[in-house]
Amino acid sequence: MQLGHMQIDLNSDLGEHYGAWRMGDDDAMLAIVTSANVACGFHAGDPVSVLATVRAAAKLGVAVGAHIAYPDLVGFGRRPMTPSAAELEADVIYQIGALQALARVAGTEVSYVKPHGALYNTIAFDEQQAAAVIGAVEAVDPDLALVCLASSPIVDQIRAAGLRAVPEAFADRAYEPNGALVSRREAGAVLEDPDLIAERMLTLVRDGVVVARDGSEVAIEADSICVHGDSPGAVHIATVVRDRLTEAGVTLRPFAARS
């Protein structure tokens, strides 16, 4: 996103129900966001729930992305793993392919890929695992964009491979001074004040910075903002963020729709 170019994408992690276990309010979030990161079955998401989410996204014109993860249903994909390059590449191809089939039936398509949880955080800085994920995306469809942590090494790695990197900021997460997210294991990692969160995101869009937990300003290049669907008060937070941005004249649209 170029500074002063007041448009941004809002994305959320959806389709994460699993059988009798319900996670988040997909219908409410789909009315707010412009892109949906839909679980592919490895960290969450059963086929019936995923298909319903993709159909709802298609009806509302919300872009659909494959929310790939380590094979970790028990840990919700938040536990670090060390698969071989061949395993990781095959796992990513498998997950994208599954969502592509469901999207096709729903009358839409998968336009991007966003890693989840521990996989997302690992590949932001781990060149070898990042290469496996990048290689898998390229093998499936080099036109797929790859969402990644803004200001992290993987951004340049994706671009060097000839793929489109979509740097992302997190509305409800605290930042370290180096641009990394504060670990969820630490107090204050997840922000809960809707007004504070919304003001931080407006500052990001307008000025290209977020305030880190030590009070310093971190430059963040972001084409998308993630509003988590499973946080306490998630729908209210996402609504406040969306309203604050639109009131300030920011256009909300899927990054996948841009030229």
Rg of the chain over CA atoms, in angstroms? 17
* Average pLDDT estimate for 74-89: 97
Task: Assign residue 22 the CATH number of its domain.
Answer: 3.20.20.370
Nearest to 256 by CA among 1, 2, 9, 38: 9
pLDDT band at 160 (very low <50, low <70, confident <90, very high): very high
Q: Which pLDDT score, from 0 to 100, does residue 228 have?
A: 83
Helix axes 85-106, 47-60, angle to 10 degrees: 60
Is residue 1 one of the residues assigned to a domain?
no
> Does the pLDDT at position 112 exceed 60?
yes
Is residue 28 one of the residues assigned to a domain?
yes
Is residue 2 one of the residues assigned to a domain?
no
pLDDT band at 183 (very low <50, low <70, confident <90, very high): confident
Number of domains, the chain: 1
User: How far, in Å, CA of 224 to CA of 169, rounded?
Assistant: 6
Q: Which pLDDT score, from 0 to 100, does residue 257 have?
A: 67
Q: Who contacts 32 (Cβ-Cβ below 8 Å, separation ≥6)? A: 10, 12, 227, 235, 238, 239, 242
Domain extent for 216: 7-257
pLDDT band at 2 (very low <50, low <70, confident <90, very high): very low
Q: Which pLDDT score, from 0 to 100, does residue 1 have?
A: 42
Is residue 154 one of the residues assigned to a domain?
yes
User: How far, in Å, CA of 251 to CA of 248, rounded?
Assistant: 9
